[in-house]
Amino acid sequence: MSWNKKPGMPKGNRATHEINASGEVVGRLATKIATLLIGKHKATYRPNIDAGDNVVVSNVGNVVFTGKKWEDKKYYRTSNRPGGLKTTTTKELKETNPGFVLKHAVKYMLPKNKLQKDRLKRLTIK
126 residues of the chain, pLDDT tens digit each? 455 666 666 677 899 999 999 999 999 999 999 999 999 999 989 998 899 999 999 999 999 999 999 999 999 999 999 999 999 999 999 999 999 999 999 999 999 999 999 999 999 999
pLDDT for the residue 85: 97
- How many domains in the chain? 1
Residue 117 sits in which domain range?
16-65+97-125
54: helix, strand or coil: strand
Asked if residue 52 belongs to a domain, the reply is yes
Asked if residue 3 belongs to a domain, the reply is no
Q: How many helices (H) and strands (E) does the chain have?
A: 5, 5
Asked if residue 89 belongs to a domain, the reply is no
Query: What CATH number did the domain enclosing 20 receive?
Result: 3.90.1180.10
Give this prediction's pTM. 0.87
pLDDT for the residue 5: 63
Asked if residue 48 belongs to a domain, the reply is yes
Asked if residue 92 belongs to a domain, the reply is no
Asked if residue 101 belongs to a domain, the reply is yes
pLDDT for the residue 84: 97
pLDDT for the residue 3: 57
Q: Which value, to the nearest 10 degrees, does the dihedral of the CA atoms of residues 73, 78, 83, 87 take?
A: -20
Could you give the CA distance from residue 74 to residue 90 in angstroms, rounded to a whole number?
A: 6
Asked if residue 114 belongs to a domain, the reply is yes
pLDDT for the residue 12: 74
pLDDT for the residue 10: 66
Closest of 67, 62, 65, 59 to residue 105, by C-alpha: 65
pLDDT for the residue 13: 84
